[in-house]
Amino acid sequence: MGPEIMAQAAKIVRWLKSNRDLNIDISEVEYGESYFRKEGKIISEGGLAQCDAADAILFGSIGGDYVTQVPPDEWGQTRLTALRKRFGLFANIRPVRPFPELYEASSLKREVIDGVDLIIVRELIGGVYFGKPRGIERTPQGCRAVDTQVYTSEEIRRVGRVAFELARSRRGKLCSVDKSNVMETGKLWREEIEHLGKTEYPDIELTHQLADNCAMQLVRRPGQFDVIVTDNLFGDILADCAAMITGSLGMLPSAALADIGENIGRPALYEPVHGSAPDIAGKNIANPLAMILSLSLALRYSIFSPRHAELVERAVRDVLARGVRTKDISKDGVDFVDTEQMGDEVLASLSGC
């Protein structure tokens, strides 16, 4: 359903360009299943070059059974994780801020989620998703599968610095999450983050949690967190868990960055946390708000235009305050709008902002 939700973000960014002096060049690149069906590749060389040249890539969700048909070489070089690696996007920023208008859509109680405003910083191009050796050995006696969790000091420090900087620009609290009780990478993770805190960020209140405890704390008392920093695997899981604070995966945007602030470099990649939702794809019922909020992150972090980012966020809040809901965030039996209508409602709110 990538194309369905991307179409909504695209109309908003074009509107901002035409009506609110957003000074950017926009180009579109086809990526994923539809391009593969036509060309046997998931992205063209020209498309990759366009991505290389961009300040920000706004990326629709991908995934589906077709990926097993993509030739392994092509897949290895152009799948999303490979693109993140290509662009050096080691820091994944996942803000979790439930809208009061949507408290009733969360599976958690109102008093648990009231006022929650946290950011999960997930290391994105290291750890067990990339470590070697990996593979499945097939022997007459049976199979043996191996994945390798590996981190270097430098990989931990660079994502740690992004998290500390974010904490410094917010409420000054950082919680580092690992499994230092049972994993060697966890011990190094804790050692490096602790050292960074003491030497470079003594002003930040640093705490540590084990990943299993953090999963529990996220649903028990999420208000205790300001910024969380963790590795690739734990970040993947904890962010989906935290999505429920906002009511739906369809509400959670993310940014993949190579640094933050003036050093952000390019390109950075902005995308919803959710996948391609094959169960609802093509039905025009997906919630496009995570995609639209990903646009607002791009405007804030890469385009350096907080004014336009706030306009988009305000428009989303206004739509929710007016009671407009897609199916995933509507109460049973209450009317809901489709993907396209939700995009139009955000546009309508924008014109009033």
Residue choice 3, 63, 88, 131 for contact with ligand NAD (CB under 6 A): 63
Task: Give the whole-angstrom CA distance, residue 133 versus residue 144.
Answer: 12
The yes or no reply on residue 294 touching ligand NAD (CB under 6 A) is no
Task: Give the whole-angstrom CA distance, residue 134 versus residue 63.
Answer: 22
Distance of closest approach, residue 283 Cβ to ligand NAD, in angstroms: 10
Element spanning 233, H or E: helix 232-246
Residue choice 155, 271, 313, 318 for contact with ligand NAD (CB under 6 A): 271
Residue choice 61, 302, 330, 349 for contact with ligand NAD (CB under 6 A): 61
Q: Which lies closer to ligand NAD via its Cβ, residue 194 or residue 338?
A: 338
| Contact (Cβ atoms closer than 8 angstroms) between residue 160 and residue 193 | yes
The yes or no reply on residue 275 touching ligand NAD (CB under 6 A) is yes
The yes or no reply on residue 183 touching ligand NAD (CB under 6 A) is no
Q: Which lies closer to ligand NAD via its Cβ, residue 174 or residue 277?
A: 277
Q: Which string of x and - marks every residue 233-252 that binds ligand NAD (by CB under 6 A)?
A: ----------------xx--
Task: Give the whole-angstrom CA distance, residue 129 versus residue 148.
Answer: 8
Sheet with 56-58: list strands edge to edge: 56-58, 268-272, 253-257, 91-96, 118-123, 227-230, 173-178, 205-210
Q: Which lies closer to ligand NAD via its Cβ, residue 164 or residue 234?
A: 234
Q: Which lies closer to ligand NAD via its Cβ, residue 186 or residue 250?
A: 250
The yes or no reply on residue 190 touching ligand NAD (CB under 6 A) is no
Task: Give the whole-angstrom CA distance, residue 152 versus residue 15.
Answer: 44
Distance of closest approach, residue 147 Cβ to ligand NAD, in angstroms: 16
Q: Which lies closer to ligand NAD via its Cβ, residue 61 or residue 78?
A: 61
Q: Mind telling me the catalytic residues?
A: 129, 179, 212, 236, 240
Distance of closest approach, residue 211 Cβ to ligand NAD, in angstroms: 19
Q: Which lies closer to ligand NAD via its Cβ, residue 178 or residue 236?
A: 236
The yes or no reply on residue 101 touching ligand NAD (CB under 6 A) is no
Which own/partner pairs from 300-305 qualify as long-range (CB within 8 Å, at least 24 positions apart)?
301/56, 301/93, 301/255, 301/257, 301/260, 301/264, 301/268, 302/55, 302/56, 302/264, 302/266, 302/267, 302/268, 302/270, 303/22, 303/24, 303/55, 303/56, 305/22
Tokens of 204: 């930040």
Q: Which lies closer to ligand NAD via its Cβ, residue 222 or residue 253?
A: 253
Tokens of 205: 């209140």
Region 312-341 residues binding ligand NAD, contact defined as CB under 6 A: 328
Q: How many CB atoms lie within 10 A of CB 122?
A: 28
Distance of closest approach, residue 329 Cβ to ligand NAD, in angstroms: 8
Q: Number of residues in contact with ligand NAD, rule: CB under 6 A? A: 19
The yes or no reply on residue 62 touching ligand NAD (CB under 6 A) is yes
Task: Give the whole-angstrom CA distance, residue 158 versus residue 89.
Answer: 11
The yes or no reply on residue 280 touching ligand NAD (CB under 6 A) is yes
Region 78-97 residues binding ligand NAD, contact defined as CB under 6 A: 80
Largest CA distance in the chain: 68
Strands 56-58 and 173-178 come out as unpaired
Q: Which string of x and - marks every residue 31-50 that binds ligand NAD (by CB under 6 A)?
A: --------------------
Helices 211-220 & 232-246, crossing angle to 10 degrees? Answer: 10
Distance of closest approach, residue 307 Cβ to ligand NAD, in angstroms: 27
The yes or no reply on residue 64 touching ligand NAD (CB under 6 A) is yes
Task: Give the whole-angstrom CA distance, residue 298 versus residue 300.
Answer: 5
| Contact (Cβ atoms closer than 8 angstroms) between residue 254 and residue 270 | yes
The yes or no reply on residue 287 touching ligand NAD (CB under 6 A) is yes
Enumerate binding residues for ligand NAD (CB under 6 A).
61-64, 80, 249-250, 271, 274-280, 286-287, 290, 328
